[in-house]
Amino acid sequence: MNQKLKRIIRTSAIVIVLLTFYIIFAVNQGDKSAKNYPNDINTENKTITNQSSEKDTSIFELSEQQDTDTHSQNDAKNKNTDSEFSSDSQTDKNTDTNKKEDSETDSEHKNNTDTDAENALAEMIFPYNGEWNLIVVNKYNPIPEEYEFELTEMKNGKQVDSRIYDSLQEMLNAAAAEGIYADIGEAYRTTEEQEAIMDEYINGYIEQGYTEEQAAAEAKNWVALPGTSEHQLGLALDINGDGITTSDQAVYDWLAQNAYLYGFILRYPYGKEEITGIDYEAWHYRYVGETAAREIYFSGLCLEEYLSQ
């Protein structure tokens, strides 16, 4: 009897302890999830038509050599100090010698692979067929004039294509539920913003003593030409850590494993630089829909390869 009583007491104690842990854990998770939703719908839908701006000048001709997305590896780290629409590569200009060396190395690397990259890309024209989630935008495939979409604004003021909003929200919720707090650094960018970034770069180089022509050429190593950045579609996002509880790397790792479940792909994978024409970008995710995302994830192909199959 005494033994039985002891056993009952011991069992009850264990149950109470486990229950307490569970409650603490649940409350904690609840707090965290509540905390992370930077993206409550704060809707202000707009319809966007991609009309190329009159500001486009001949120096941005698509046939010209060398183009990258507007991100460099340094950007993620400096995102908080950059101006709202700054590109990743902006930091290259503003940073110290070490970082400049890094970017020079990048440029050399790009130059070495340039011919192959050009050849690979030159054959890949992807006419837009109305499948908005699979649209290809790069230096050989500018955004079609007639391409239209609506934007939804996130709580942090950034905008995305309304059609991807729910998936994005779901993905961020899932990450947060696992203690990964992500921050959307860049989302939709207007043509004018892309042009402003380009102009800023060109002016920066002119100030350094480059001629206008040289400055324009150099800027194109770092900034996507207006009309050829995926950010102008509202389908691409630069996702980093929140800088408080979650590191950039932790977010990149989580996204690399899970983003496809929500229809997003790592758009510029390592090893596919010659095809995408853009260096590996751990932070740049692109919505393609769940089916394509799953197939791309498991095949290891990049978007261009996937669509060329």
Across-strand partners of 183? 240
Q: Point out which span in 53-61, 192-200, 281-289, 290-298 binds Zn ion (CB under 5 A).
A: 281-289
Question: Contact with Zn ion (CB under 5 A): which of 238, 242, 248, 273?
Answer: 238
Q: Point out which span in 113-121, 155-163, 253-261, 277-285 binds Zn ion (CB under 5 A).
A: 277-285
Rank residues 31 and 227 by Cβ distance to Zn ion and give the closer one. Answer: 227
Closest CA to 197 of 215, 222, 161: 222
| Contact call for residue 284 and Zn ion (CB under 5 A) | yes
Residue 111: CB atoms within 10 Å:
12
Rank residues 218 and 238 by Cβ distance to Zn ion and give the closer one. Answer: 238
Cα 183 to the center of its chain, rounded Å: 11
Cα 210 to the center of its chain, rounded Å: 31
Say which residue the tokens 């001949």 belong to: 58
Rank residues 283 and 297 by Cβ distance to Zn ion and give the closer one. Answer: 283
**Binding marks (x or -) toward Zn ion, 198..237, rule CB under 5 A?**
----------------------------------------
Closest CA to 233 of 169, 141, 143: 143
Q: Point out which span in 15-23, 60-68, 125-133, 284-292 binds Zn ion (CB under 5 A).
A: 284-292
The yes-or-no answer on residue 170 being catalytic is: no
Closest CA to 258 of 151, 188, 162, 182: 182
Q: Which pair of structure tokens corresponds to residue 144?
A: 């079609």
For helices 165-177 and 248-258, give the axis angle rounded to 10 degrees.
120
Q: Point out which span in 23-31, 177-185, 216-224, 279-287 binds Zn ion (CB under 5 A).
A: 279-287
Out of 186, 195, 281, 304, the active site residue is 281
Provide the minimum distance between the beta carbon of 187 and Zn ion in the complex, in angstroms, as a whole number.
Answer: 9
Q: Which stretches of the chain are assigned E, i.e. beta strand? A: 46-49, 148-153, 159-161, 182-186, 236-241, 264-266, 284-287
Provide the minimum distance between the beta carbon of 31 and Zn ion in the complex, in angstroms, as a whole number.
Answer: 31
The H-or-E segment that residue 16 falls in is helix 2-35
Provide the minimum distance between the beta carbon of 281 and Zn ion in the complex, in angstroms, as a whole number.
Answer: 6
The span from the CA of 167 to the CA of 67, in Å, is 30
Cα angle, residue 304 at apex, residues 249 and 129 outer, rounded to 5°: 120
Provide the minimum distance between the beta carbon of 256 and Zn ion in the complex, in angstroms, as a whole number.
Answer: 15
Rank residues 99 and 158 by Cβ distance to Zn ion and give the closer one. Answer: 158
Rank residues 149 and 309 by Cβ distance to Zn ion and give the closer one. Answer: 149
Provide the minimum distance between the beta carbon of 277 and Zn ion in the complex, in angstroms, as a whole number.
Answer: 14
Instruction: Give catalytic residue positions.
Output: 281
Which residues lie near Zn ion (CB under 5 A)?
A: 238, 284
